[in-house]
Structure 1
Amino acid sequence: MINSSGSHYALPSNSSRETGRLNLQHRLIIKAFDNKLLLAPVDLKPKDRVLESGAGSGIWVLEFWKEYSERNIPLDIECIDISKDQFPSEVPSDIHFSLCSILDVPLEWSDSFALVHQRLLVAALPRPLWHKALAQIYRVLKPGGWVEFVESHAKVRKFVVGPQSKKLSLISDRMFDEKDYVGDTEVYLPPVMREMGFVDVHCEGRDIPINRSIDDGLDRVQIWYDLWKGFKGSILAGGGYGIVSSEEEYEALLLDCRDEWVKSTEAYTTYWTIIAKKPS
């Protein structure tokens, strides 16, 4: 949810179902990254400014704020998104939510943030807009500040474990090609970031199995199924990309895919954390 018009974002931004899915996905990601909310080696001090881009429901930032508050390190946090539909109704006084795009951040924010955090915009930013977003992030970071992205790997389809999930993979590939999304941010972004002046660029990946058999209280197959259900509107708007021709066909395909994922111990997805620093 990052473009000022919202037209580039392939998932819904205004449903309670999507908010619930994102919050469950948050739990998966945090668990995969050793129960850490942040990997960047930033040394935050009281009153440092933090920017959360694409804040959504605010689940990450609220947990991050609580963690630092318990360490007696109060932070000044700005949370931006192009939709306010998922914003929490009540937040601490030092967390500020506003309608804003990372492509057009206020000039008065230049050189002011110790940390910028952004997650899961792989289906929101076409390739040229990543360059613009990175330039804006570089501008608002103060010297020595860190940026951390968390993105899913979408170029190699590791969830393909049968003929139906192969069809879904073809739909996904064609949608990404049409919209010029970057499916391998962990490969694409680091050299672009270095060219812009970022230093200490580092990536870490984690594989997350898509199988309900893991005993952690999270129905991973359902979370994955709900993600693809969220793409339904964009896929149908693209004519089904030559694989499906109606809502009924797409939903039937998803049910068949879910059956394949439930039976498989091989299906998984990969999340990457990409961190970098603005030189001091």
Structure 2
Amino acid sequence: MSRAADAVPGTASENATRTESGNVTEQAVGSVPAPGTAPDTAPEPVIDQDVVIAADDTDVTEDDSSDRASSRAASTSSVAASILDYRLENGRTYHAYKDGKYSLPNDERENDRLDLQHHLFLLTFNDRLGNAPPNDPHATVGRVLDVGAGTGIWAIDFADEHPESEVLGFDLSANFPEYTPPNVRFEVDDLDEPWIYSQPFDYIHSQMMNGSISDWDVHAKKSFDNLSPGGWVEMNECNIKPECDDGTLKEDSMLLRTVQLVQEVSVKRGRPAMDMKGLKNVLLNAGFVEVRLMQYKWPTNDWPKEQRYKEIGNWSHENAVSGWEGLCMAVLTRGLGWTPTEVIVAMAQCRKELKDRTIHAYYPLYSVYGRKPTEAELAEKSYCPWENTVTLNLARWCLHLVDDLAGGDRSVRNRTAGLIASCCDVAIAGVLFLCDVGSVVYSAKSRKRSFGSPLKKAGTLLAACSSLYL
């Protein structure tokens, strides 16, 4: 789908286990080992999770602006003219294909911002194009899909770094470059439509799609279904709502007030600005393993004392000011009936707050990636797509109970485990299995009989009942 609104709410950090430079963390989920190991020379991503950024009390200094303008073609030669018939509104242009699905403009100003945002990601990820293993040095990657490719800058950079790869990028707007590496191609498409590809991908990447996706569970399932076994998915998303660790960002600020309005409109239009911290569970529920979630912070300006955050803050400020104005102009005029003048006045106050170095705010950024199990892992009866979720923990507890009651009868346990692993509807499996355990406990207490026989009968009945639902 189209490039997404720069947003997503999120707050607390995940359980961290790895630190770097005193900063750090990441959470790993999943018990299946990766096929192959990353090179010893692979640089570790810099992670800001749980770091309280120190404010710089010195005066503000202006950075020299960078000339990031670049020539772009209106489209590839194969794109239909109707797709290029953009909508002009309040001095900005918006995509016409599937009009209204994406609220940010697609004009040259927005394209420059997207390229600037790409550089901001590189600063944040320590000069890496992503955190998933396909971005490790010397990694060999086959087919790659870039969802919401925007100007195509990420896809082109990845293709340059991986000449062995075949990279496909798609977006709602045809703002792709005229000249690209031979191993890159672009398409105009809508991610809400069925994904029909002749071959699966080894790596699916997306960033800043928050506010453009109606159902993240469906999106994750599409990614899972279109990956080769052992392939990786990565999603990098930023919260629309800035946060603050020292209370200097007031709840009555114009910035937070407009955030609240944009969130309300996004819910009404069916593409809510979500809390992207929840992406970890989205990937787990879709069946991914080795899921990792990392949190970063994008300061609203150069208020931090440390040089790394100060530089990120400068780029983040430019990204936020331009992006927020473009988003609000469409959302507030279309969704709430504001006049362009009213939006301009509100944006002037937002720019003032974003520039204020006494307000120590930042945008939480979440990077999450996971691996699709290999064919061997998928074939194992013990594999469960809900691993490390509450469901699996409950199932494990029940299996332990069955072991105790059955007196070590492994056939009963294996039958129960097989049912859970093969059941597509976790709710049905849970209910049926709990009924099985309940009947065993009841039989044991009321009849004072051994547990083996009723367990075997309950297991047989459970398997028969489940076949009616599967």
TM-score (norm 2): 0.52
- Determine if contact 1:102/1:136 at 8 Å carries over to the other structure: no
Q: Which has the higher contact order (CA 8 A, sep 6+)?
A: 1
* Structure 2: gaps of 5 or more residues: 4-96, 304-309, 375-470
CA distance in 2, matches of 1:144, 1:119: 21
Match of 2:102 in 1: 9
* Distance in 1 between residues matched to 2:302 and 2:289, nearest whole Å: 39
Deviation at 1:256, TM superposition (A): 1.2
Deviation at 1:186, TM superposition (A): 2.1
Deviation at 1:26, TM superposition (A): 1.3
**What does residue range 100-115 of structure 1 map to in structure 2 within 5 Å?**
100-103=189-192, 104-109=194-199, 112-115=200-203
Whether the 8 Å CA contact 1:6–1:82 is kept in 2: the answer is no
Residue deviations 1:68-122 (CA, integer Å, cap 9, x gap): 34xxxx21111111221x111110111111122333221423xx21100011110
Partner of 1:247: 340
Q: What's 1:150 paired with?
A: 236
Q: CA deviation at 1:22?
A: 0.9
Distance 1:255-1:147 versus aligned 2 partners, 3 A rule: same
Q: State the secondary structure of the residue aligned to 1:92.
A: coil
Structure 2 residue 205 is matched with structure 1 residue 117: yes
1:36 aligns with 2:128: yes
Distance 1:39 1:216 in 2: 18
Residue 178 of structure 1: aligned partner: 268
Q: TM-score, normalised by structure 1?
A: 0.85
| 1:221 and 1:258 in contact (8 A); partners too | no
More strand by share: 1
Largest Rg, 1 or 2: 2
Superposition map of 1:101-250 within 5 A? 101-103=190-192, 104-109=194-199, 112-126=200-214, 128=215, 130-154=216-240, 156-158=241-243, 161-162=249-250, 163-180=253-270, 181-187=272-278, 189-212=279-302, 214-215=310-311, 218-231=314-327, 232-239=329-336, 245-250=338-343
* Number of aligned residues: 263
**Cα gap change, 1:117 to 1:82, in 2 (>3 Å):** same
Tell me by how many angstroms 1:212 deviates.
4.4
Partner SS for 1:144:
strand
Q: Distance in 1 between matches of 2:178 and 2:295?
A: 33
Alignment of 1:2-81 (within 5 A): 2=2, 5-12=98-105, 14-42=106-134, 44-45=139-140, 48-69=142-163, 74-81=164-171
**RMSD, matched Cα:** 2.3
* 2:180 partner amino acid: V
